């Protein structure tokens, strides 16, 4: 009989459990909670917060954020048997029923923490039937969640009046600190507010709240919950509460990540709170000092080169300034890059073996199929080294190098580096892109320079701390080309060094490049060392140009200031020369391997196995008569009375520059007029008009078209032909103007050696 009773009891229990499981499966309790989005720094500290979908400040707290002190206080006050009941406390229900029956009104409740969580998740009118529903849902919660998770629900949902829910929101908005830093007095104050949210509202009823807090502290002391000295200190602690604003740091990045992860309650960024706060203040103060110059905005991006973590993200000088577009994200705004792409161009040319740092480039006026670039200062420097051209950001040499490597090669590099606007514009881009004729963002530029900081290794930026650190990226340029480029960008004897002494006195050890867009609308300065890469943009979001705006004197001082704050004496050291970088003597006139003419030599660095091996040809032997008044070729060389002399082997464009500037140079004497030889190399280069161009002539005021060419050093005269008819004979550097016929026109130029060049143009009437 006894065993039968035991079996009956067991079957009853099993049946009850099965029934509960069936009910749980049939009527599941899985409410969807919407939390306010909180953006944290790399250590989990809240730096920005957004309201939830219900416009509530309900900030998610993890289990690890519930400190032992908070847990102990909450459980003692709300549900001392929390860890012992299955979600419902039968003894508390019986006690509450007896008290309420004898008093004739509701004097005592029996809700456990679990039942309160159910009520907070799904609020219902307080009736006995709804109480039964709460009991059932409380049992369901206990079936599916641990005690720690249920307590976490309570901590996240408990109301504090108005639209503030959860201890984390209350802690931040009332005390300005996370729950982990709350004292016993502060925790006690927060735990009693939900019982009387209107009568004990923090900020407006502080005196009443302090009295109620101390009453509960007295209970804690009576029950021996805490030591007497701990209670005494908490009772004496002043209660100064006021409603604070929610954290508002890094607004542009916060909005960006909120849009990217709309359902994430906590988005942990890679931002360094100290750097973010400091740089936001630096940018704001810097722009405030330049308001009178009509410069109203700036953006800054700071990247940790080792992890590619974005440690500071400042989209504008003042997010809350509606007049100057403060809410525009300058980190992602598409702007003209000015000269900031030149390091990538030269590094690509180093990798192609076209140039080395000492290679000579001609900084002289040039016409590239109708495109005639100028330098920023509108001056020309003649023959310069590659490193001088990059360090001084000269435009003409950069355009010539781009012409040599080809725009598709540079566009391919930029596409590989993730330049989205360049990818869209690719079909329309030409040589002007290297001077700012394309669209880029500060994010793209800074990431590109971070690749230089990482020895040519391009990796993705990390904004979310949960994203894994990318160990290996994509090589955008070689380590050797990066090293050569970095050495040039580290030089301080250059025009884009700020002229202000305060900026140069504490000059950080960095490599940097500046840029100023056409019309002086954008000022850029991007720099790096082994530890950080920093990108700075200064200008107006309206696109309004400012005469005083320049990368050197507007953006670079802010760059230096940020680097001095971040990493003035970097412990990382500087870059070491790769094994494949060699040194060799070159001729200073050409940058090529010395020949017999090169008496003076200098040391140049080069990439072994890649850099071109060219013999210097800056001079050549010429046969002349004894007086040096006439030159001979081997075809007309007389048997006697001849001398062999060395003459400069100048490029036609350099000769044209010397002639225009009236600079002296060594001319080769006129060739023997009796010679009948026809030369085939060194034909004149027609620079005007442009091959294949259309020219429109006004009917009432017909204008003339200029004819211009660049000829070799041994040319004394050139002959211009229009449709194969001789028009004029002139010195090679003299401009000629003609009235061309309508239609398709052939323009020819022949020099006195019989060498000839042709171009075709179309002339139309307007």
**Catalytic residue positions, numbered:** 78, 339
Kind of pairing, strands 694-697 and 756-765? parallel
DSSP of 388-457, one letter per residue?
A: HHHHTT-HHHHHHHHHHH-HHHHHHHHHHTT-HHHHHHGGG--GGGGGT-S-B-HHHHHHHHHHHHTTTE
Q: Helix, strand or coil for residue 723?
A: coil
Evaluate whether 435 touches 400 at the Cβ level (below 8 Å). no
Q: Helix, strand or coil for residue 259?
A: helix
3-state secondary structure string across 443-498: HHHHHHHHHHHCCCEECCCECECCCCCCCCCEECCCHHHHHHHHHHHCCCCCCCCC
**Range list of H helices, 27-67:** none
Evaluate whether 49 touches 161 at the Cβ level (below 8 Å). no
Evaluate whether 371 touches 620 at the Cβ level (below 8 Å). no
* CA dihedral angle for residue 618, residue 619, residue 622, residue 626, rounded to 10 degrees: 140
Based on the number of CB atoms within 10 Å of its own CB, is 664 exposed (0-12), middle (13-18) or buried (19 or more)? Answer: exposed
Whole-angstrom distance, CA of residue 178 vs CA of residue 341: 44
Using alpha carbons only, give the angle 459, 463, 464 rounded to the nearest 5 degrees: 115
Residue whose C-alpha is closest to residue 146's, from 45, 66, 234: 66
Residue whose C-alpha is closest to residue 453's, from 567, 355, 339, 338: 567
What are the distances in angstroms from CA 304 to CA 259, 332, 341, 467, 469?
24, 19, 21, 14, 11
Whole-angstrom distance, CA of residue 484 vs CA of residue 347: 8
Record the tokens describing residue 22, joined without a space: 């069936």
Whole-angstrom distance, CA of residue 530 vs CA of residue 78: 55
Evaluate whether 366 touches 373 at the Cβ level (below 8 Å). yes
Whole-angstrom distance, CA of residue 84 vs CA of residue 642: 117
Q: Helix, strand or coil for residue 505?
A: helix
Record the tokens describing residue 363, joined without a space: 């900084």
Strand partners, 697: 765
Whole-angstrom distance, CA of residue 272 vs CA of residue 45: 10
Residue whose C-alpha is closest to residue 346's, from 536, 552, 513: 513
Residue whose C-alpha is closest to residue 385's, from 412, 358, 345: 358
Q: Which residues are CB-neighbours of 567 under 8 A, at least 6 positions away? A: 508, 529, 531, 532
Whole-angstrom distance, CA of residue 14 vs CA of residue 18: 6
What are the distances in angstroms from CA 667 to CA 123, 215, 657, 659?
98, 104, 14, 11
Whole-angstrom distance, CA of residue 560 vs CA of residue 558: 5
End-to-end CA distance of the chain: give it in Å, rounded: 120
Whole-angstrom distance, CA of residue 432 vs CA of residue 439: 12
Rg (CA), the chain: 39
Evaluate whether 206 touches 241 at the Cβ level (below 8 Å). yes
Whole-angstrom distance, CA of residue 275 vs CA of residue 254: 16
Record the tokens describing residue 3, joined without a space: 């065993």
Backbone angles phi, psi at 458, to 5 degrees: -90, 120
Residue whose C-alpha is closest to residue 162's, from 78, 56, 270: 56
Residue 115: enclosing H or E segment and its boundaries? helix 113-121
């Amino acid at each position: 009989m006894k065993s039968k009773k035991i079996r009956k009891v067991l079957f009853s229990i099993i049946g009850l459990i099965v029934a509960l499981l069936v009910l749980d499966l049939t009527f599941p309790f899985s409410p969807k909670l919407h939390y306010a989005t909180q953006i944290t720094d790399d250590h989990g500290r809240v730096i920005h917060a957004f309201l939830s979908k219900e416009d509530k400040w309900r900030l998610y707290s993890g289990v690890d954020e519930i400190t032992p002190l908070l847990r102990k206080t909450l459980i003692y006050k709300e549900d001392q048997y929390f860890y012992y009941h299955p979600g419902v406390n039968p003894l508390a229900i019986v006690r509450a029923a007896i008290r309420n029956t004898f008093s004739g009104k509701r004097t005592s409740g029996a809700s456990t923490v679990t039942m309160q969580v159910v009520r907070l998740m799904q609020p219902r009118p307080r009736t006995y039937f709804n109480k039964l529903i709460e009991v059932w849902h409380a049992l369901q919660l206990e079936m599916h969640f641990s005690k720690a998770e249920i307590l976490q629900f309570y901590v996240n949902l408990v109301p504090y009046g108005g639209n503030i829910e959860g201890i984390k929101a209350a802690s931040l908005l009332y005390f300005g600190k996370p729950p982990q830093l709350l004292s016993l007095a502060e925790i006690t104050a927060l735990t009693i507010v939900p019982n009387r949210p209107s009568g004990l509202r923090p900020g407006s009823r502080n005196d009443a709240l302090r009295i109620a807090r101390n009453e509960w502290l007295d209970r804690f002391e009576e029950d021996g919950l805490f030591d007497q000295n701990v209670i005494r200190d908490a009772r004496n602690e002043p209660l100064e509460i006021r409603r604070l604003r929610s954290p508002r740091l890094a607004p542009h990045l916060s909005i960006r990540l909120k849009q990217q992860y709309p359902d994430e309650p906590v988005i942990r960024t890679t931002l360094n709170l100290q750097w973010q706060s400091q740089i936001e203040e630096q940018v704001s103060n810097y722009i405030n000092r330049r308001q009178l110059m009509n410069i109203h905005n700036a953006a800054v991006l700071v990247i940790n080169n080792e992890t590619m973590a974005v440690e500071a993200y400042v989209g504008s000088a003042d997010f809350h300034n509606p007049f100057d577009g403060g809410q525009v994200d300058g980190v992602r705004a598409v702007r003209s890059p000015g000269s900031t792409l030149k390091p990538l161009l030269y590094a690509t040319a180093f990798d192609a073996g076209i140039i080395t740092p000492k290679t000579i480039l001609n900084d002289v006026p040039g016409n590239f199929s109708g495109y005639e670039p100028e330098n920023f200062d509108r001056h020309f420097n003649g023959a310069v080294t590659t490193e001088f051209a990059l360090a001084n950001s000269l435009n003409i040499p950069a355009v010539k190098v781009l012409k040599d490597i080809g725009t598709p090669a540079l566009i391919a590099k930029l596409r590989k580096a993730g330049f989205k606007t360049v990818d869209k514009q690719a079909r329309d881009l030409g040589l002007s892109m290297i001077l700012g004729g394309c669209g880029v963002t500060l994010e793209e530029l800074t990431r590109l320079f971070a690749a230089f900081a990482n020895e040519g290794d391009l990796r993705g930026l990390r904004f979310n701390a949960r994203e894994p650190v990318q160990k290996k990226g994509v090589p955008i340029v070689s380590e050797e080309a990066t090293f050569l480029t970095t050495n040039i960008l580290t030089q301080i004897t250059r025009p884009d060094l700020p002229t202000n002494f305060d900026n140069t006195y504490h000059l950080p050890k960095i490599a940097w490049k500046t840029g100023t867009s056409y019309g002086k609308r954008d000022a850029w300065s991007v720099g790096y060392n082994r530890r950080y890469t920093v990108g700075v943009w200064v200008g107006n979001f309206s696109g309004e140009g400012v005469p005083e705006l320049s990368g050197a004197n507007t953006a670079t001082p802010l760059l230096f200031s940020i680097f001095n704050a971040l990493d003035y004496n970097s412990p990382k050291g500087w870059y070491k020369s790769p094994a494949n970088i060699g040194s060799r003597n070159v001729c200073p006139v050409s940058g090529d391997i010395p020949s017999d003419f090169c008496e003076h030599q200098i040391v140049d660095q080069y990439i072994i196995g890649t850099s071109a091996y060219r013999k210097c040809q800056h001079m050549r032997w010429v046969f002349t008569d004894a007086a040096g008044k006439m030159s001979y070729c081997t075809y007309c060389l007389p048997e006697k009375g001849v001398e062999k002399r060395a003459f400069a082997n100048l490029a036609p464009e350099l000769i044209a520059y010397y002639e225009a500037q009236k600079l002296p140079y060594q001319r080769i004497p006129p060739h023997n007029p009796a010679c009948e030889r026809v030369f085939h190399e060194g034909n004149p280069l027609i620079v005007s008009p442009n091959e294949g161009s259309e020219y429109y002539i006004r009917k009432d005021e017909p204008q003339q078209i200029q004819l211009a060419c660049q000829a070799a050093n041994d040319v004394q005269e050139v002959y211009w032909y229009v449709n194969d008819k001789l028009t004029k004979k002139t010195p090679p550097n003299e401009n000629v103007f003609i009235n061309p016929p309508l239609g398709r026109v052939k323009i020819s130029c022949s020099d006195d050696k019989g060498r000839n060049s042709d171009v075709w143009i179309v002339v139309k009437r307007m």
